[in-house]
Amino acid sequence: MVTDGIERQQISRMASSLPSGPLVLSLYLLLFPVCLATGSASITYHGGPLLTGNLNLTLIWYGQFGRVHKNVIRAFVESLHYNAGANLQPQVSSWWNVVESYQEVAGKGSSPINVKVVKQVTDLKYSAGKAVTSEFIQKVLRKATGGDSNTIPVILTARDVKMQGLCFTKCSQHGMLGDHQQPYIVVGNPESECPGSCAWPFQKPDKGPLSITLNPPNGNLGVDAMVIAFARALVEAVTNPYKTGFFQDNSNNANKTVEAASACWGIFGSGAFDGYTGKVRVDPETGGGFNGHGSRGRKFLIPAVWNPKTKSCWTLL
């Protein structure tokens, strides 16, 4: 392969971020052409409102969840504004600062977007069944919120609930409910139904190139995959809540709209390419792969987000 100076620099940077070893080197050589061909579509602003100020979440635990699931999800929300200290870098809150910068780019000033959990609802009896459809979403949301339109409901479904369509699109979704156009988020546990689609990089993918998998940073494949999906949905609910905010111009299908997180799909660190997360860290005690420190001593693997100022995908590492 003949490369110019810029391409040689790119090769050097990506090679330095990869682990060493003959197997990894072979994988790198196999996938490198994909890396050069990979690009991110630009996300532009379309004039609509964004979610700003105080975002009060109602977490709806639909089905059977263990303590670790609930603790990790709640810690992730807390981490959006948590200062872990100078000795624990990078921090999840730095990632959220990039999301907050969308306000400035949209000409709406610059202020914190404070996210907190104000209510939690548990549905252990699967009152709306075990298949997520549009009717399911409406029923669960109305029952859980009681008509309160001042919160953003987040449906978190257990591993035995089928997420129709989500295994083949974004692994989570955000939308609007009712006349008030109340934003909502749905996140499923992909551990049973589609780990190969929605639990990478903790699980080998169903298709695509040979991949290097990571151990989940909190020791649970299901909830660590849910954090990634939740993070993506939260970013896109904030930056494109009513389908008139930030998204790619030539994407107009509701299930395929390229938004602030999906524009950077599969990227978790610098030097990423198809099948490789990019630069991440490994916890020496647990072996879990992570790129951000959060509250309660938790570590998280947070997906890249489109930076509206640099017009490129941004990662914590």
For 153-209, how does the pLDDT look when each residue is reduced to its tens digit (9 = 90+)?
Answer: 999 999 999 987 777 767 899 999 887 789 999 999 999 888 988 999 999 988 877
Measure the CA–CA gap between 315 and 98, rounded to whole angstroms: 10
DSSP state of 41: P
**How many other C-beta atoms are found inside a 10 Å radius of the C-beta of residue 57?**
19
Angle made by CA atoms 276, 100, 268, in degrees to the nearest 5: 5
216-255: b or e for each residue (b if 16 or more CB lie within 10 Å)? Answer: bbbebbbbbbbbbbbbbbbbbbbbbbebebbbbeeeeeee
Measure the CA–CA gap between 216 and 280, rounded to whole angstroms: 12
For 229-272, write each residue's pLDDT tens digit: 999 999 999 999 999 999 998 755 545 789 999 999 999 999 99
**Is the previous residue joined to 201 through a cis bond, with omega within 30 degrees of 0?**
yes
C-alpha torsion 64→261→294→289, nearest 10? 80
Measure the CA–CA gap between 158 and 66, rounded to whole angstroms: 10
Q: pTM for the whole thing?
A: 0.86
Phi and psi torsions of 137, nearest 5°: -60, -45
Confidence of residue 35 (pLDDT cuts 50, 70, 90): very low
The percentage of the chain sitting over the pLDDT mark of 90, rounded to a whole number, equals: 68
Segments making up each domain of the chain, as ranges: 46-244+258-314
Question: Do residues 227 and 78 lie in contact, with contact meaning Cβ atoms separated by under 8 Å?
Answer: no
For 263-295, write each residue's pLDDT tens digit: 999 999 999 998 899 999 999 999 999 999 999
